[in-house]
Structure 1
Amino acid sequence: MAEKRRKYDPEFREGAVRIVTETGKPIAQVARDLEIDAGTLGSWVARARQTAGEGSGRESEYEELQRLRRKNAELTKENTQLAMERDVLKRCMVLWVK
């Protein structure tokens, strides 16, 4: 005998996905609590992450690369300034010793 497929309204789906993402509980546990299949909830969560941009990975990698490049430029500039200060202090010390 074939099983009848259950239909879930969009509000229920969004609520279930929100429970998983906000509480950090495992999908299987939330699915048991809501009495739905874990695979179904897993696909809802994956779809929500993909539409939110979390699942793509490429954008987050690009953003991280841009952040690291900015940080590298900042540290390089800071290192250059420190090297200049060090050189000035060396010259002052030589003059002071003489």
Structure 2
Amino acid sequence: MGSTRRSFTDEYKKAAVAFVLDEGRQIKEVARNVGVHEMTLGKWVKKEREIREASTEPDAVLSESERAELIRLRNEVKTLKSERAQLEMQVSFAKKVATWFAKDQQ
């Protein structure tokens, strides 16, 4: 007994993907509503995102929300780098103290 594989038109795929990318709905929700598996819709969405990214110019002007997010993310990276440097100093100090105590115990 052969398996039956469903096929979808390009228009159907584009409409389902538009719900996710243009309207901001979750893949899980849209997949359930349009009657496809989450993985299938996820692949369609991934493919469309790649197409959209390839078609945009790298020097394209950012919208205000994109620019605000970029600034927020850059600030977050600075903060995380600073916290990491501080933790690395603490680890280094702890190693030196442990070495000192180990020598003192002998």
TM-score normalised by the shorter chain: which range applies? 0.5 to 0.7
Shift of 1:4: 1.2
Q: How does 1:10-89 map to 2 (within 5 A)?
A: 10-53=10-53, 59=58
CA–CA distance in 1 between the matches of 2:23 and 2:46?
16
Structure whose CA Rg is larger: 1
Structure 2 stretches lacking a partner, 5+ long: 68-106
TM-align CA RMSD: 2.9
Task: Find the residue that maps to 1:53 and give its secondary structure.
Answer: helix
Shift of 1:46: 0.4
Shift of 1:2: 4.9
Shift of 1:3: 3.2
Matched, 1:3 2:3: yes
CA–CA distance in 2 between the matches of 1:2 and 1:31?
25
Please report the TM-score for the alignment, with normalisation by the length of structure 1. 0.53
Q: Aligned pairs, how many?
A: 62
Please report the TM-score for the alignment, with normalisation by the length of structure 2. 0.49
Structure 1 stretches lacking a partner, 5+ long: 68-98
Q: Give percent identity, aligned residues only.
A: 32
Provide runs of 4+ in structure 1 moved above 3 Å. Answer: none
